[in-house]
């Protein structure tokens, strides 16, 4: 009889669900709103109810489930299975989400950080499928990271590894929200690109597409830079290329440290497609050492918002399939 | 009956040997000169002869040996067991050292990069004993790295990972021999410290202990900076602190990326002891994010020049003990 794991991806707005089969096929995707009233109990009830609905809709028996994997934003205590804090969800502090969900479903459960889950999802069924060593960079408001080595997620000794957005690449550089200076995130995130674009427009005045957009809207987003780039605005080109340079520098560091099969880029900025990949590859070639040509592939994530829920199920599959095999 | 692995550490001047027991005890250390005549054949013969002598001297039977681990400077092809090139040994190019030694001894053999072997040695019996996640930085002519995650050496997909000395920490910074700019090695190695000290003395002229030493000797080494520091020379203090700052920055990056139990520092510069550890810890505290206090211990290596040969034997133990258990 085929066995499955349940994936649950807890976000501030939606909770996503899916089933992952032992052969690596993910099915049954759906989402429910994250209750913003009723505190942790309501959220856990929604997660449990969704998992039960997932089984029913897909005609899967409880006995065919090896376990449930839960992906959640941090900070988490992975070992204890506890969400320490959850942005946007009032009262969500030190919630033992793994055991609460696991006990309600009467299934073994495992908790994973959302960025790691997304990396593992891309490794299982996405851009990193079939590769042993893969590093994910998520380019959004911040820059997140997820690392898969020899097919396993790297957590670190205190569950705080893979914070690739907080690798320092400019000594005494821009002040980051994390308290450090010169982090990758301050040079490569979508929100930093927008902020830097507004500063540059203010300094340089009129004469660019970006300046016109800023005058019309009052502010700029990363997508405005991308759109101005698409119509050939030279200021947008300069700002975009600066971001690509620092991203490439981060990629070169990832290659020196991990030498992975692939660096996978995810998040809103990857909508730029070749406008993202090509300048990064060019800068990587220029920045890279002369000991070898760049051996690590740089690719765009393939699973979009489903990476996290698939990866959460995959982490459960690895954990509970292993433990079944060893018992 | 107790089982052992043989460790062989191939260096440009000496070949080191030891036995590692299944309980983790390393014994029988000795070394032979690396033959600089007779090419690869003479080197392999010395390795084989040394291994046979190791067994005889320690009264260990061939049948009690699980396998032999060979540590070697790179570049290596780990998968093929080949030394691609060996600095200081003429004619040592594309030598299938693993199979040559393994076949001559009629034992399973494994090849490991010397920096990884040293990291694994410290993990097994040294500063990282009992810890799962450990990162080694070797501060010498260059800056080498070795990474142990969940008790296993990280190699990378193309066998070129853990090059932590070539992490870029200064965009468009000093030109490194590797072809990149701004590598850790250009700011933290002993030879860089010496070179930077000579530049600074030339620029600033007389009035420092370092200037006197340079006038007397004609050049400076890292140990001259350490000695001038010990007698309170302020220029030496400034140059040393600059090196400690960049080393700390590299350590913070290692913490963000790996979140290891410990960063272990090895190589000649660690003779400075607390003069090394204390300023690094201070800079780490200042550079570190505000999300947590520094959780990763920073320590000095304990095994000195024996780390590599112990680690080489340890890699063999892991490889051949595992394969015995699985067969």
Residues B131 and B246 in one domain: yes
State residue A324's pLDDT score. Answer: 53
Coil, helix or strand at residue B56: helix
CA B129 vs CA B84, B264, B271, B317: distances in Å: 32, 11, 21, 16
Q: Reply yes or no: is the peptide bond before residue B230 cis, omega within 30 of 0.
A: no
Coil, helix or strand at residue B144: strand
Backbone angles phi, psi at B287, to 5 degrees: -85, -25
CA A171 to chain B, closest CA, distance in angstroms equals 7
Rounded Cα–Cα distance for residues B263 and B118 (Å): 13
Contact A303, A122 (CB under 8 A): yes
Residues A115 and A155 in one domain: no
- pLDDT tens digits, one per residue of B231-266: 999 999 999 999 999 999 999 999 999 999 999 999
Minimum mean pLDDT range among A300-314, B20-34, B78-92: B78-92
**Residue A198 pLDDT level (bands cut at 50, 70, 90):** very high
pLDDT of A323 over the 70 cut: no
Decide if the complex's ipTM is over 0.90. yes
Domain assignment present for residue B122? The answer is no
CA A284 to chain B, closest CA, distance in angstroms equals 11
Residue contact A259–B133, C-beta within 8 A = no
Residues B202 and B87 in one domain: no
Residues A169 and A235 in one domain: yes
State residue B327's pLDDT score. Answer: 42
Residues A115 and A172 in one domain: no
Which residues does chain B have within 8 Å of residue A131's beta carbon, measured at their own beta carbons?
A: 157
Domain assignment present for residue B120? The answer is no
Domain assignment present for residue B317? The answer is yes
Residues A152 and A67 in one domain: no
Which residues does chain A have within 8 Å of residue B176's beta carbon, measured at their own beta carbons?
A: 289
* Biggest CA pair distance of chain A: 69
Rounded Cα–Cα distance for residues B177 and B161 (Å): 18
Rounded Cα–Cα distance for residues A33 and A36 (Å): 9
pLDDT of B280 over the 80 cut: yes
Residue contact B155–A259, C-beta within 8 A = yes
Domain assignment present for residue B257? The answer is yes
**Residue B91 pLDDT level (bands cut at 50, 70, 90):** confident
pLDDT of B326 over the 50 cut: no
Closest of B231, B236, B203 to residue B221, by C-alpha: B236
Residues B230 and B107 in one domain: no
Minimum mean pLDDT range among A89-93, B59-63, B87-91, B290-294: B87-91
Q: Beta strand B262-266 with B297-300: parallel, antiparallel or unpaired?
A: parallel
Distance between alpha carbon B264 and the CA centroid of its chain, in Å? Answer: 10
The nearest alpha carbon in chain A to B261 belongs to A157
Residues B139 and B26 in one domain: no
For residue B202, the enclosing domain spans 127-301
CA B137 to chain A, closest CA, distance in angstroms equals 12
Residue contact A291–B154, C-beta within 8 A = no
> Tokens 């033959």 appear where?
B35
State residue A327's pLDDT score. Answer: 41
Residues A79 and A168 in one domain: no
Provide the number of structural domains found in chain A: 2
- pLDDT tens digits, one per residue of B167-186: 999 999 999 999 999 999 99
What rounded mean pLDDT belongs to chain A? 95
- The model's pTM is 0.94
pLDDT of B323 over the 80 cut: no
Domain assignment present for residue B192? The answer is yes
Residues B23 and B151 in one domain: no
Task: Give mean pLDDT, residues B15-34.
Answer: 97
**Residue A326 pLDDT level (bands cut at 50, 70, 90):** very low
State residue A322's pLDDT score. Answer: 66
Residues A110 and A23 in one domain: yes
- pLDDT tens digits, one per residue of B100-148: 999 999 999 999 999 999 999 999 999 999 999 999 999 988 999 999 9
DSSP structure class, residue A176: P
pLDDT of B307 over the 60 cut: yes
State residue B87's pLDDT score. Answer: 73
């Amino acid at each position: 009889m085929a066995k499955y794991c349940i994936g649950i991806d807890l976000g501030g707005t939606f909770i996503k669900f899916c089933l992952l089969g032992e052969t690596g096929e993910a099915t049954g995707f759906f989402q429910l709103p994250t209750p913003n009233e009723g505190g942790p109990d309501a959220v856990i009830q929604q997660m449990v109810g969704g998992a039960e609905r997932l089984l029913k809709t897909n005609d899967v028996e409880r006995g065919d489930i090896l376990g449930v994997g839960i992906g959640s934003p941090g900070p988490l205590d992975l070992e204890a299975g506890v969400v320490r804090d959850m942005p946007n969800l009032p009262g969500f502090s030190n919630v033992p989400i793994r055991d609460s969900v696991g006990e309600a479903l009467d299934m073994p459960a495992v908790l994973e950080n959302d960025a790691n889950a997304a990396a593992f999802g891309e490794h299982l069924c996405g851009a990193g499928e079939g590769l042993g060593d893969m590093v994910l960079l998520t380019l959004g408001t911040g820059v997140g990271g997820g690392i898969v080595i020899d097919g396993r997620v790297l957590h670190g000794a205190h569950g705080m590894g893979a914070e690739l957005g907080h690798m320092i690449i400019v000594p005494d550089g821009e002040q980051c929200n994390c308290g450090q200076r010169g982090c990758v995130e301050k040079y490569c995130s979508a929100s930093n690109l927008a902020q830097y674009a507004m500063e540059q427009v203010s300094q340089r005045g009129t004469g660019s597409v970006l300046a016109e957009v800023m005058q019309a809207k009052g502010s700029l987003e990363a997508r405005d830079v991308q759109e101005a780039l698409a119509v050939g605005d030279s200021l947008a080109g300069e700002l975009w290329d600066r971001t690509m340079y620092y991203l490439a520098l981060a990629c070169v560091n990832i290659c020196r440290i991990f030498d992975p099969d692939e660096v996978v880029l995810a998040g809103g900025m990857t909508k730029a497609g070749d406008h993202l990949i090509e300048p990064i590859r060019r800068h990587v070639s220029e920045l890279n050492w002369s000991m070898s040509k760049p051996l690590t592939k740089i690719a765009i994530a393939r699973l979009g918002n489903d990476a996290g829920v698939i990866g959460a199920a995959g982490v459960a599959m690895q954990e509970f399939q292993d433990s079944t095999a060893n018992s």
